[in-house]
Structure 1
Amino acid sequence: MVLTRDFKETVKERTARDPAFAKAMLDEAATAFLNGEPHIARLILRDLVNASVGFEALAAQTNRPSKSLHRMLSEKGNPSMDNLAAIFGAVRERLGVSIVAHAVELA
């Protein structure tokens, strides 16, 4: 008897039943990018794409090849800002959320 579950399946099921979880993942990916942790952001975004939009649908929506999108969102990926904007836009649209950045003043 298997006692563990595949992480991707767990994320996919949780995303499907809990929209707040999916939105939190998107927020976490955006925050990681803005905080200078692009490698973490790409991996979170990859898991979110797998769980929500799917790479084939993302490829159709962004007019980019699926294989290229997989590479962009890999640990060593290097997507351009245009590609990131397209990916975030497609996921944001799928989840029905907006992304708003807030500046924080340091004392």
Structure 2
Amino acid sequence: MGLTRDFKETILARVQTDPKFRDALFKEGIETLLAGDVDTGKAIIRDYIKATIGFEALGVETGLSPKSLIRMFGSSGNPQAKNLFAVISHLQRLAGLTVHVTTRTLGRGMTRAPSGD
């Protein structure tokens, strides 16, 4: 089931007025991608982009067409790593954030990204 328009508008308003929420949304999008839930991660990043820079300005800043960016973060989009990392890198700079990846041992040599701070 898709999100309602009211919910998306609430997220948009909160991102624009609450810097901690905005940063947490970006972090959640990245962590979700890294956890392997690509569709949900793309959806979170898409909402983040809509609420912050927008696809038109992001296209200008990254040299990618806005239509390609919209498709890339759409439900059937399959972004190339080069383009995905270019977008994430720009969004980090825009937000004044730096994303760090860490691992922890789960046992028997398996590791996974931490789920919290």
Whether these two folds match at TM > 0.5 is yes
Look up the match of 2:56. Answer: 56
What is the TM-score when the length of structure 1 is the normalising length?
Answer: 0.90
Look up the match of 2:38. Answer: 38
Look up the match of 2:7. Answer: 7
* Greater alpha carbon shift after TM alignment, 48-57 vs 20-29: 20-29
Look up the match of 1:82. Answer: 82
Aligned residues: 104
Do the aligned partners of 1:32 and 1:38 also contact (CA within 8 Å) in 2?
yes
In 1, Cα distance between equivalents of 2:25 and 2:51: 11
In 2, Cα distance between equivalents of 1:73 and 1:33: 12
Look up the match of 2:111. Answer: none
1:74, CA displacement in angstroms? 0.3
Do the aligned partners of 1:29 and 1:41 also contact (CA within 8 Å) in 2?
yes
1:66, CA displacement in angstroms? 0.3
3-state SS in 2 of match to 1:60:
helix
Whose strand proportion is higher, 1 or 2?
2
1:5, CA displacement in angstroms? 6.1
Task: State the identity as a percent.
Answer: 37
Give ranges in structure 1 of 5+ residues lacking alignment. Answer: none
Label 1:72 to 1:5 Cα distance change in 2 as closer, same or farther (>3 A). closer
3-state SS in 1 of match to 2:99:
coil
Give ranges in structure 2 of 5+ residues lacking alignment. Answer: 108-117
Moved runs in structure 1, 4+ residues, more than 3 A?
none
Look up the match of 1:93. Answer: 93
